[in-house]
């Protein structure tokens, strides 16, 4: 079992809200794959104030997954807040966010990590819309529409050049994770937009990697409600930039602010 201060190569952060059914097979699959890799790793589940037995199933899994950790966030605050807490609690030199439904197979991790390991990027994001992306199922029309509208209407102004901000499979160096998540404000679905917009403005190099993915038929996305929420949060992000909110935020002690990209 890893000690509280043990050096870790890779942290996998899994935000979870009422995931007692989908989470156990995801944890087993992540552990099975990572056990074959030459990396010291931890899996950090952040429970976002679940009302079901999510915490119980994670604690039960600890008996067979020694490097599994549970971090509790109470009350429920949103996926963005859960990922932020996990990124700051993690110990890994590289920190990956992964959805509880395991829509991105663990076997895709080496592909995602490659740009960071090769020192070509500070952040690597899985993408469903660049070369190399593939799936064995057709995504429902409403999800395609939801994603593409988000890109056309919102992302273009905040993160130009990035084709897929909402894929729940992203990797960060420890430095970029601490720098960005320590000042982030958005708790909901648009936290990806905020983090990537901050990364661009602070000069971090972002690589978009085409990955294999599967559509989760049990998704909780409501295309109308969630699109409205993303738009509302995106507008809040733009206001924060205009008001200098992120520039005023306190960085971790000794953490340098990268030079802005030209």
pLDDT per position as a tens digit, 1-54: 555 557 799 999 999 999 999 999 999 999 999 999 999 999 999 999 999 999
- Helix pair 79-89, 174-181: axis angle to 10 deg: 130
pTM: 0.86
Report H helices in 118-187.
141-150, 156-158, 174-181
pLDDT per residue as tens digits for the range 58-104? 999 999 998 999 999 999 999 999 999 999 999 999 999 999 998 88
User: What is the token pair recorded at 3?
Assistant: 């000690």
Round to whole Å and give the CA distance between 165 and 121.
16
Quick one: pLDDT at residue 117?
Answer: 97
**How many other C-beta atoms lie within 10 A of the C-beta of residue 189?**
21
**How many other C-beta atoms lie within 10 A of the C-beta of residue 112?**
22
Round to whole Å and give the CA distance between 193 and 232.
12
Give buried/exposed letters for 207-223 (b at 16+ CB in 10 A, else e): bbbbbbbeebeeeeeee
- Which residues partner with 74 through β-bridges? none
Which residue reads 């994670």 in tokens?
Answer: 58
Quick one: pLDDT at residue 231?
Answer: 81
Quick one: pLDDT at residue 102?
Answer: 87
Tell the burial category of 183 from Cβ atoms under 10 Å away from its Cβ (0-12, 13-18, 19+).
buried
Q: Report whether pLDDT(255) > 60.
A: no
Which residue reads 């909110």 in tokens?
Answer: 245
Closest CA to 114 of 126, 130, 98, 102: 126
Mean local confidence (pLDDT), 190-202: 94
**Inter-residue contact 159 to 165 (CB < 8 Å):** yes
Mean local confidence (pLDDT), 222-242: 81
User: What is the token pair recorded at 30?
Assistant: 């992540």
Go through the domains of the chain in sequence order and give each one's CATH number.
8-248 (3.90.550.10)
User: What is the token pair recorded at 205?
Assistant: 């190099």
Residue 259 pLDDT level (bands cut at 50, 70, 90): very low
Mean residue pLDDT across the chain: 86
- Helix pair 191-201, 174-181: axis angle to 10 deg: 110
Round to whole Å and give the CA distance between 43 and 13.
6
Round to whole Å and give the CA distance between 132 and 178.
29
């Amino acid at each position: 079992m890893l000690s509280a201060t043990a050096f870790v190569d890779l942290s996998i952060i899994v935000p979870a809200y009422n995931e007692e059914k989908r989470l156990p097979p995801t944890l087993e699959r992540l552990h099975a794959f990572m056990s074959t890799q030459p990396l010291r790793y931890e899996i950090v589940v952040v429970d976002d104030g679940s009302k079901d037995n999510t915490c119980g199933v994670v604690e039960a899994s600890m008996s067979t997954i020694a490097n599994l950790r549970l971090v509790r966030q109470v009350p429920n605050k949103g996926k963005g807040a859960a990922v932020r807490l996990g990124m700051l609690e993690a110990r890994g030199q590289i920190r990956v966010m992964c959805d509880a439904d395991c829509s991105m197979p663990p076997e895709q991790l080496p592909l995602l990590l490659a740009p960071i390991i090769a020192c070509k990027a500070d952040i690597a994001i899985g993408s469903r819309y660049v070369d190399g992306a593939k799936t064995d199922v057709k995504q429902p029309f409403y999800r395609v529409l939801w994603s593409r509208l988000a890109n056309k209407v919102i992302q273009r102004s905040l993160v130009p050049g990035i084709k897929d901000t909402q894929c729940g499979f992203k990797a960060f160096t420890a430095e970029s994770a601490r720098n960005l998540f320590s000042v982030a404000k958005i708790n909901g679905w648009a936290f990806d937009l905020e983090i990537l917009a901050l990364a661009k403005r602070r000069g971090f190099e972002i690589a978009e990697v085409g990955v294999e993915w599967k559509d989760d038929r049990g998704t909780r996305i409501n295309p109308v409600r969630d699109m409205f929420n993303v738009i509302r949060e995106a507008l809040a992000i733009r206001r924060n930039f205009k008001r200098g909110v992120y520039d005023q935020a306190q960085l971790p002690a000794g953490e340098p602010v990268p030079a802005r990209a030209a």
